[in-house]
Amino acid sequence: MQPFDYTTLLAVCCEIRSQWVPARLEQVYQWDRHQLTIGLRTLTGRGWLTLCWHPQAAHFCMGDAPPRIPDTFTFSQQLHHQLVGLALVGMYPIAPWERVLVLQFAHRPGEAPLWTVYVEIMGKYSNVILVNGDGIIVTAAHQVSHSQSRVRSVQTGQPYEVPPELTQVVPHVTETMQRWQSRLTLIPGSLKKRILQTYRGLSSALVESMLDEAKLDYNQFTDQLDLDQWQRLFGCWESWLSTLATADHLWQFTNPPPTAPPVQFRPGWTRSGYSVMGWGTIQSTTLTLQNLIDQYYKKHLHEQRFDQLRVQLGQKISAVAAKLRTKAQLFDEQLEQAEQADAYRQYADLVMANLQMCQTGLCQLSVPDFESGCSVKIPLDPNQSGIQNAQAFYKRHQKLRRSRLAVEPLRTAVYLELGYVEAVESMLTQFNRYHDENDWLALVEIQQELIQQGYGLEKSTHSQNKPKRTRGKTKHTGKDRGIVDESSQPLQYFSPNGFEVLIGRNNRQNDRLTGRTAGDYDLWFHTQEIPGSHVLLRLPPGAVADTSDLQFVANLAAYYSRARQSVQVPVVYTQPRHVYKPKGAKPGMVIYRHERIIWGQPQHVHTILGRDNNGM
């Protein structure tokens, strides 16, 4: 992930300051342990300032409104209590070449600041700190004690201290090429490494894009460059310093060429990311700088959270499924033993009919069966009489008979729950990688469903920080806070004849497709007795799906199921009015009738769609 370097900080700060300072602070909202948004209002409009102190994605920018979920973080509540109603009157870096942003708040522009928020963008040491007018820390997103850091502690009640300065040389526009070159060649090494070690204010991404612009190799040693190469590199260096001085930034997304190798050098190649210098292979965009920064880091944060949540849910659901399988196996064994109940009653009847042959000390009795006449060998306890052995057999018969009556409903319930868990497990296996925000929303809905079903999962967006204690109902409405509410959307394809095909990605979508979206003329598809997605073929009134449409949808239904790796999978389809959800059934569980069967071929999905479909 590309770091939010000093060059980007200046570019973003200049743009926000020109449009949003001064502004009235109306709301502070935190929905993640590493990110909060501040609602600002000016005479021309309203916006949300995002402050993120994530260890790998620390940044700030104007972003979208936060999602509609309760804010239970103490840090945001403290900021809200102190800052709401004040005006943002100042925004600037704390010092040249330092990635610390200063936000000043006062009653109105022109007055002395009452509160100061320091946004420290320093990798894994990133933080957001609220300081009062006397320079005392009131609260911080991350408290740092003396035992955690002997260099600088950040705790409530202590005076705020500026982060220690770096030891590298400060870049200056008046520095000559000879002096600049002598600094870099003082110690032999690769160009990229020497620039980063010598000067402050540069990130790996910026140095790489600078070397790409100069058509130089990252790993080329300083003693191997000729005069022309040094002049090209110094020209890029001066261009960078001039851009910092004039704030004339050119922002764009940057992408590597499709055929470029991931690690080898290629002139003009820049790794996927963004640039505020206009260097590298440019992907055209009409986004503003704020939108570019917001989209870039939001995508990467969602991708990281997506992978973490997918692994967490996968491990949890696999553990639950393993326990249920063990429990089901135990119940199966108990029922198998209960099947011998009639045999013990037969032993008891035979012993009672042949008491004269049962003597104390006898270990086995062989007598003919009442019905078949065949010899039956009955094991006996040599320490008991014949009547006592018969009574023991009768007791064993009654015990097994009662256990069968008790175990059968438990076994049925376990297998029903196991079917539900395996269905969720099947859906999780299809979330192989992150594509867009819809993937994240669909995965979060699975998490919320498992929480509602009582599987002991905590919401990742709130469980990683200590929530505040509240009494009564939380007052939280999207109308008064300007917060949006989003839900994931099903996958959408089109059949050979142009009919829309919708595929549920989780049980919430499955229930919505089957119970709400489906119309009278549609067709509902599902793998037969195999966990999978609900698939809906949308048909307008009077339209009839031919064989190619049915086969296309059957292939998709087989592909988005637990039997994805099979060659052929039985798929049932029927009209939605013949699909029912039993009372009290778990999400996604339905029963159907009047079904017809078609064989789906999941391996043909790649050919039909003409692209890789390894994940939802």
Greatest Cα pair distance, the chain, in angstroms, is 120
Please report the pLDDT score of residue 404 as a whole number.
81
* Helix 289-338 × helix 6-20 angle, to 10°: 110
C-beta atoms surrounding 263 within 10 Å: 6
User: Exposure pattern of 118-147 as b/e (b: 16+ CB <10 Å)?
Assistant: bbbbeeebbbbbbbeeeeebbbbbbeeeee
State pTM to two decimals.
0.74
- In terms of Cα–Cα distance, which of 166, 82, 87 is closest to 129? 82
Amino acid at 550: L
Please report the pLDDT score of residue 325 as a whole number.
94
Taking the C-alpha atoms of residue 455 and residue 321, their distance in angstroms, rounded to an integer, is 11
Choose between 367 and 143: higher pLDDT: 143
* CATH 2.30.310.10 matches 6-140: yes
Q: Do residues 365 and 349 make contact, with C-beta atoms less than 8 angstroms apart?
A: no
Taking the C-alpha atoms of residue 40 and residue 117, their distance in angstroms, rounded to an integer, is 15
The per-residue pLDDT of the chain, averaged, comes to: 86
pLDDT grade for 607, boundaries at 50, 70 and 90:
low
Q: Is the pLDDT of residue 34 over 80?
A: yes
Q: Do residues 189 and 174 make contact, with C-beta atoms less than 8 angstroms apart?
A: no
Taking the C-alpha atoms of residue 86 and residue 94, their distance in angstroms, rounded to an integer, is 21
**Judging by beta carbons within 10 Å of its beta carbon (0-12, 13-18, 19+), is residue 397 exposed, middle or buried?**
buried
Highest mean pLDDT among 210-224, 262-276, 383-397: 210-224
Do the domains 177-285 and 6-140 match in fold?
no
pLDDT grade for 608, boundaries at 50, 70 and 90:
low
**Judging by beta carbons within 10 Å of its beta carbon (0-12, 13-18, 19+), is residue 178 exposed, middle or buried?**
exposed
Cα distances (Å, whole numbers) of residue 504 to 389, 468, 489, 492, 562: 61, 36, 8, 9, 14
pLDDT tens-digit series, residues 212-267 = 889 999 889 999 999 999 999 999 999 999 988 887 766 666 654 333 333 333 33
Please report the pLDDT score of residue 577 as a whole number.
94
Please report the pLDDT score of residue 468 as a whole number.
41
Cis peptide before 22 (omega within 30 of 0): yes
Please report the pLDDT score of residue 595 as a whole number.
95
Please report the pLDDT score of residue 457 as a whole number.
64
pLDDT grade for 389, boundaries at 50, 70 and 90:
confident
* Helix 204-213 × helix 227-246 angle, to 10°: 130
Q: Is the pLDDT of residue 474 over 80?
A: no
Taking the C-alpha atoms of residue 12 and residue 121, their distance in angstroms, rounded to an integer, is 13
Residue 1, CB-side half-sphere exposure with 13 Å CA sphere: 20
Q: 3-class SS at 349?
A: helix
Taking the C-alpha atoms of residue 378 and residue 376, their distance in angstroms, rounded to an integer, is 6
pLDDT tens-digit series, residues 65-117 = 887 778 889 999 999 999 999 999 999 999 999 999 999 999 999 999 999 99
* CATH 1.10.8 matches 177-285: yes
Matching residue, tokens 């342990």: 33
CATH of domain 303-469: 1.10.287
pLDDT grade for 58, boundaries at 50, 70 and 90:
very high
Question: Taking the C-alpha atoms of 408, 409, 415 and 421 in order, what is their torsion angle to the nearest 10 degrees?
Answer: -160
pLDDT > 70: what percent of the chain? 88
pLDDT tens-digit series, residues 311-331 = 999 999 999 999 999 999 998
| Segments making up each domain of the chain, as ranges | 6-140, 177-285, 303-469, 491-609
Please report the pLDDT score of residue 352 as a whole number.
87
Taking the C-alpha atoms of residue 494 and residue 501, their distance in angstroms, rounded to an integer, is 6
Residue 145, CB-side half-sphere exposure with 13 Å CA sphere: 2
